[in-house]
Amino acid sequence: MSVETVIQAEGVSKRFGDNHVLKHINMSVGKGEVVVLLGPSGSGKSTFLRCINNLERIDDGLLTVNGELSGYRRDGNTLYELSEKQIAKHREQVGMVFQRFNLFPHKTVLENIMLAPLKVKRAERAASETHARELLARVGLPEKADAYPSQLSGGQQQRVAIARALAMRPSIMLFDEPTSALDPELVGEVLDVMKQLAAEGMTMVVVTHEMTFAREVADRVVFMADGYIVETGTPEAVFGNPQHERTRAFLRSVR
């Protein structure tokens, strides 16, 4: 029970104008835990991931990542806010993989992976190349170092995007529908890389509609709708015996 908490959200709220997108979200993620976030489109899943990664700032509540305040905190009338520098340091520890891989088209696979460590961390070139090649092997693409993104399939590009995120040696990985843009036959190779990462003990929060992945890999499933966490539990509990009609309706729709 003494698993270290690495992400903690307490009463997190986020609004875009009048649109109240996250409503008092409470959630904690332990070190090495894999949490799958499910929910209909527009329920706030991406926004929540973006708040964890400081791409959005919360309006209310408390969000800590790796034991440190992330972004923003309103406590009564007192407002705590991180500097740009502190936010950048936070972001280094959190890798993010999106639906669209956004690799730089005019850079090789190796250059894409090395870019952030060289620029942000001022890593040494030789060391960062060695690490990039290790990561390419880890995602099953050791022979693609000198290829350009356009020469790769969507699944291969997404695996490169995962390697690129890992190049910063993050302690947490966030995935936002990483297989949703892929042809069905390419989904499995990306999920396999994610499964392997999970098995190696990476802390992961994954937004996905891949129910088989959720069943096999998630320690916990969190179902969100309309900016609320409706239900959370083990995959067996949430899929096998959902407590809320909203969850049941959603699960029927994705099966």
d(CA 146, CA 143): 8
Number of residues that bind ligand ADP (CB under 6 A): 11
For residue 176, give both structure tokens: 């936002």
Sheet of 34-38: strands edge to edge? 94-97, 172-176, 203-207, 34-38, 220-225, 228-233
Q: State yes or no: residue 208 binds ligand ADP (CB under 6 A).
A: no
**Min separation Cβ 176 and Mg ion, Å:** 6
Identify whether the C-beta of residue 221 lies closer than 8 Å to the C-beta of residue 233.
Answer: yes
**CB under 5 A: which stretch of 17-25, 44-52, 73-81, 116-124 binds Mg ion?**
44-52
> What's the gap between Cα 31 and its chain centre?
14
The neighbouring-strand residues paired with 13 are 60
Instruction: Kindly state the smallest distance separating residue 47's Cβ from ligand ADP, in Å.
Output: 3
- Quick one: what does residue 19 bind among ligand ADP, Mg ion, none, with the CB cut-off 5 to 8 Å set by partner type? ligand ADP
By CB under 6 A, is residue 21 in contact with ligand ADP? yes
Q: What, of Mg ion, ligand ADP, none, does residue 201 touch, CB below 5 to 8 Å by kind?
A: none
CB of 174 to ligand ADP, least distance (A): 12
What are the residues whose beta carbons fall under 8 Å from the beta carbon of 83, sequence distance 6 or more?
Answer: none
Helix (H) or strand (E) holding 78: strand 78-81
Asked whether the beta carbons of 221 and 239 are under 8 A apart, the reply is yes
- Considering only the stretches 15-23, 39-47, 104-112, 237-245, report the one whose residues sit in contact with Mg ion under the rule CB under 5 A: 39-47
From the CB of 46, what's the least distance to Mg ion, in Å?
Answer: 3
Locate tokens 């993050």: which residue?
170
| Residue 36, beta-bridge partner list | 206, 221
DSSP at 197: H
21 binds, among Mg ion, ligand ADP, none (CB under 5 to 8 A by kind): ligand ADP
Site for ligand ADP in 37-56 (CB under 6 A): 39, 41-47
46 binds Mg ion (CB under 5 A): yes
Contacted by 70, from ligand ADP, Mg ion, none: CB < 5 to 8 Å by type = none
Q: Residues in the site for Mg ion, rule: CB under 5 A?
A: 46
Q: Residues in the site for ligand ADP, rule: CB under 6 A?
A: 16, 19, 21, 39, 41-47
